[in-house]
Amino acid sequence: MKPGAIDRCIAFIKSQYEGEEPVALHAPRFLGNEKKYLSDCIDSTFVSSVGKYVERFEKQCADYCGAKYAVAVVNGTAALHMALVLKGIGPGDGVITQALSFVATANAIHYTGASPVFVDVDRDTLSLSPAKLEDFLKTESVLRDGARIHKASGLRLRSCIVMHTFGHPGRMRELLRVCEHFGLVLIEDAAEGMGSFLDGRHLGTFAPIGALSFNGNKIITTGGGGMLLFDDEALARKARHLTTTAKVPHSWEYDHDAAGYNYRMPNLNAALGLAQIEQLPGFLASKRALAAAYSKFFYDEGIAFISEPAGAVANYWLNAIALGDRRERDTFLEKTNAAGVMTRPLWKLLDGLPPYQQCPRANLDNARWLEDRVVNIPSSVTRWRDGKT
Ligand SMILES: Cc1ncc(COP(=O)(O)O)c(C=O)c1O
């Protein structure tokens, strides 16, 4: 880093968020119909999992993402869990995913009784590497009685979850090709990807199942919430059934034909979501303008700013930079946070967390390289006070 770079960085970030002290990493913005829809929802008394806002929000998400079906659930973790349940993943199975992810990706696998199996990411996309995945499957697995078995652990490798880090797309076409060749079902953890496109397609719609999150820190929020995206009607119907306690429709009988889940998104949350999705184009424009300003600033400072890969239009949900090494990263984190500018390192790699230390893993050199260097910087929607988003 050039001398004085961190101080200039602090001043630049503060200039983007004048009047906000401290500067948050990602604060939600409620600038539209939120209060109107919430109050209408309360007046209707339908605040839980039955109500018009859930259906309207699902329809808006499906239309925006270009998915045939969208099923709203309580959060992104539940969406991922349900995706695995729908594909019959359970004990004895291994689900390949990246160690560079938020813990929810591995937790969802764990809930099914399956085990995460960690494979490396690419340095440029920060997402699962198709080349590393292919190499791992070729060298570490074998086809036995029609099942793909991980040689060292004996786990059946049946599925793979790619996570689109910070809204930057992974290499979907290559990943789909590798998964198809080795007989794995691909699932997209697009929790961070609402508003991101690759080759004109929304993230979460490449694989048979995609999962979105609307947590308070995401680009649009429902407070807590998630969405499953499908093109397959039978899968969507099953998801709707299982997430609503597997209740068989009847005017008064309590009949449940499976051990279902109470995962349906409440109407109150969907009301908030509907108001938020109406503002998504404005939020995206504001975030892309901020990313362009950051990109120029960090270019002038000689610091690597993480940009969307070729063919992608990313949402720039969380902007990120890569510093020279871990020492530089830690100094940056210390000084910016002390100055009231919230910055955060990458998540600790999942293979090192106590619940996942025993899980199989491949060489994770790229993930470790990124863990030492990548820092997220404030990324909330800017220019919002005057309603110009
Ligand atoms: C990559 C990733 N996966 C899954 C989740 C889980 O979403 P939720 O917090 O809505 O359960 C999140 C975010 O919170 C995430 O960032």
Joined together, the tokens standing for residue 328 give 């530089």
Nearest alpha carbon to residue 276 among 53, 127, 111: 53
To test ligand 1's pocket by mutation, which of 163, 187, 213 has the most ligand atoms within 8 angstroms of CB? 213
Ligand 1 pocket, residue 134 CB under 6 Å:
no
SS in 3 state form for 336-373? HHHCCECCEECCCCHHHCHHHCCCCECCCHHHHHHHHH
Task: Please state, in angstroms and rounded to a whole number, the distance separating the CA atoms of residues 49 and 269.
Answer: 9
Instruction: Determine the distance separating the centroid of ligand 1 and the alpha carbon of 273, expressed in angstroms.
Output: 16
Ligand 1 pocket, residue 192 CB under 6 Å:
yes
> What b/e sequence results for 230-260 when a residue is b if at least 16 CB atoms lie within 10 Å of its CB, and e otherwise?
beeeebbebbbbbbbbeeeeeeeeeeeeeeb
Instruction: Determine the distance separating the centroid of ligand 1 and the alpha carbon of 320, expressed in angstroms.
Output: 18
Task: Please state, in angstroms and rounded to a whole number, the distance separating the CA atoms of residues 133 and 140.
Answer: 10
Residue pair 153/94 in contact by the 8 Å Cβ criterion: yes
Ligand 1 pocket, residue 213 CB under 6 Å:
yes
| 3-state SS assignment for residue 129 | coil
Place of tokens 């290499």: 171
Ligand 1 pocket, residue 269 CB under 6 Å:
no
Residue 49's pLDDT is what? Answer: 83
Task: Please state, in angstroms and rounded to a whole number, the distance separating the CA atoms of residues 305 and 234.
Answer: 42
Number of Cα atoms under 13 Å in the Cβ half of residue 317: 24
Ligand 1 pocket, residue 376 CB under 6 Å:
no
Residue pair 275/60 in contact by the 8 Å Cβ criterion: no
Number of Cα atoms under 13 Å in the Cβ half of residue 160: 29
Using left for φ > 0, alpha for ψ between -120 and 50, and beta otherwise, residue 317 falls in alpha
Between the alpha carbon of residue 56 and those of residues 66, 70, 341, 368, 375, the distances in Å are 15, 10, 37, 42, 37
163 Cα nearest atom in ligand 1 = 1
Between the alpha carbon of residue 214 and those of residues 117, 197, 237, 267, the distances in Å are 26, 17, 22, 14
Q: Does the pLDDT value for residue 50 go beyond 90?
A: no
Q: What is the pLDDT of residues 206-250, one digit of tens each?
A: 999 999 999 999 999 999 999 999 999 999 999 999 999 999 999
Instruction: Determine the distance separating the centroid of ligand 1 and the alpha carbon of 76, expressed in angstroms.
Output: 5
List phi, psi (to 5°) of 115.
Answer: -120, 135
Nearest alpha carbon to residue 176 among 198, 193, 195, 194: 198
Task: Please state, in angstroms and rounded to a whole number, the distance separating the CA atoms of residues 35 and 41.
Answer: 10
Q: What is the pLDDT of residues 323-363, one digit of tens each?
A: 999 999 999 999 999 999 999 999 999 999 999 999 999 99
What distance lies between CA 26 and its chain's CA centroid?
Answer: 15
Q: What is the pLDDT of residues 95-140, one digit of tens each?
A: 999 999 999 999 999 999 999 999 999 999 999 999 999 999 999 9
CATH homologous superfamily for the domain 5-26+280-377: Aspartate Aminotransferase, domain 1 (3.90.1150.10)
To test ligand 1's pocket by mutation, which of 73, 98, 102 has the most ligand atoms within 8 angstroms of CB? 102
Q: What is the dihedral of CA 140, 144, 146, 149, to 10 degrees?
A: -30
Instruction: Determine the distance separating the centroid of ligand 1 and the alpha carbon of 73, expressed in angstroms.
Output: 13
Neighbour tally for 30: CB within 10 Å: 14
CB proximity list for 378: less than 8 A, separation 6 or greater? 13, 16, 17, 23, 24, 25, 26, 319, 341, 342, 343
Q: What is the pLDDT of residues 161-182, one digit of tens each?
A: 999 999 999 999 999 999 999 9
Number of Cα atoms under 13 Å in the Cβ half of residue 252: 0
Instruction: Determine the distance separating the centroid of ligand 1 and the alpha carbon of 259, expressed in angstroms.
Output: 24
Joined together, the tokens standing for residue 152 give 């060292």
Ligand 1 pocket, residue 163 CB under 6 Å:
yes
Ligand 1 pocket, residue 286 CB under 6 Å:
no
Q: Does the pLDDT value for residue 389 go beyond 70?
A: no
Residue 298's pLDDT is what? Answer: 98
Ligand 1 pocket, residue 351 CB under 6 Å:
no
Q: What is the pLDDT of residues 63-74, one digit of tens each?
A: 999 999 999 999
77 Cα nearest atom in ligand 1 = 11
pLDDT, average across residues 247-270: 97
Place of tokens 């829809």: 37
Would you say domain 34-278 falls under CATH 1.10.3720.10? no
Instruction: Determine the distance separating the centroid of ligand 1 and the alpha carbon of 7, expressed in angstroms.
Output: 32
Residue 384's pLDDT is what? Answer: 59
Ligand 1 pocket, residue 104 CB under 6 Å:
yes
Domain ranges of the chain: 5-26+280-377, 34-278
- Element of type H or E holding 284: helix 280-301
List phi, psi (to 5°) of 377.
Answer: -120, 160
Task: Please state, in angstroms and rounded to a whole number, the distance separating the CA atoms of residues 203 and 113.
Answer: 27
